[in-house]
């Protein structure tokens, strides 16, 4: 098809220009056509690659964000120090800093003093938005807490908006907002 178009352009150029200008014109037109096709192919490939990475993120990030969230909120009085240290490996940014302060100032001392155990499970998770290296999910949780003064378990329900990022190939919680 391109050869036909170039051939027709060449017949119009035959009457007006000498042969060497016709070859030059055809060469320039061929170069422009090849460049346009290469640009279109590159743009399409880039769009498809980005879309494919986003589809991979969408496939499992809500479930992963739920597991991370439940893990960060779960601890036992006997192992709270180790539980908190493990949870910190799944956090990043300002949220890691605020979590570290909260656990050091409040959660760890109270867990030791009142012998508090908290266990959280994911009851559901839904993806709000996703990009190749970041996602936001709504996580719905069920929790059970016990302590030395109240041996009967307290049942809790909560929902949080969780933002996760993937800086080095691993999903980390960047923000957690109770709803």
Q: Tell me the two tokens of residue 166.
A: 């993937």
Task: Give residue 132's pLDDT band: very low, low, confident or very high (50, 70, 90).
Answer: confident
More confident: 161 or 45: 161
Determine the Cα–Cα distance for residues 6 and 114; give it in Å rounded to an integer.
85
Per-residue pLDDT tens over the stretch 105-123: 999 999 999 999 999 999 9
More confident: 22 or 96: 96
Q: List, as one string, the DSSP characters of 131-174.
A: ETTEEEEEEEEEEEEE-SS--S-EEEEEEEEEEEE-SSSS-EEE
- Three-state DSSP class for residue 119: strand
> Residue 39: pLDDT above 80?
no
Mean pLDDT value of segment 67-86: 95
> Residue 11: pLDDT above 60?
no
What backbone torsions phi and psi does residue 148 show, to the nearest 5 degrees? -65, -35
Cα 14 to Cα 2, 8, 9, 111: the distances in Å are 18, 10, 9, 91
Determine the Cα–Cα distance for residues 84 and 163; give it in Å rounded to an integer.
19
Q: Does residue 78 contact residue 112 with C-beta atoms inside 8 Å?
A: no
Token pair 């909120």: residue: 73
Mean pLDDT value of segment 61-88: 94
């Amino acid at each position: 098809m391109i050869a036909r178009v170039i051939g027709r352009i060449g017949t119009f150029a035959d009457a007006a220009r000498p042969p060497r200008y016709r070859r030059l014109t055809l060469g320039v037109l061929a170069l422009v056509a090849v460049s346009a096709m290469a640009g279109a192919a590159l743009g399409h490939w880039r769009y498809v690659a980005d879309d494919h990475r986003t589809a991979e993120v969408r496939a499992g990030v809500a479930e992963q964000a739920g597991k991370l969230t439940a893990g960060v909120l779960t601890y036992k009085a006997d192992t709270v120090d180790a539980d908190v240290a493990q949870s910190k490996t799944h956090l990043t940014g300002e949220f890691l800093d605020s979590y570290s302060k909260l656990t050091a100032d409040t959660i760890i001392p109270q867990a030791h003093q009142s012998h508090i155990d908290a266990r959280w499970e994911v009851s559901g998770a839904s993806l709000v938005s996703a990009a190749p290296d970041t996602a936001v999910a709504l996580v719905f949780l069920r929790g059970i807490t016990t302590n030395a003064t109240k041996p009967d378990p307290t049942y809790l329900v909560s929902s949080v908006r969780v933002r996760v990022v993937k800086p080095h190939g691993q999903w980390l919680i960047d923000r957690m907002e109770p709803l």
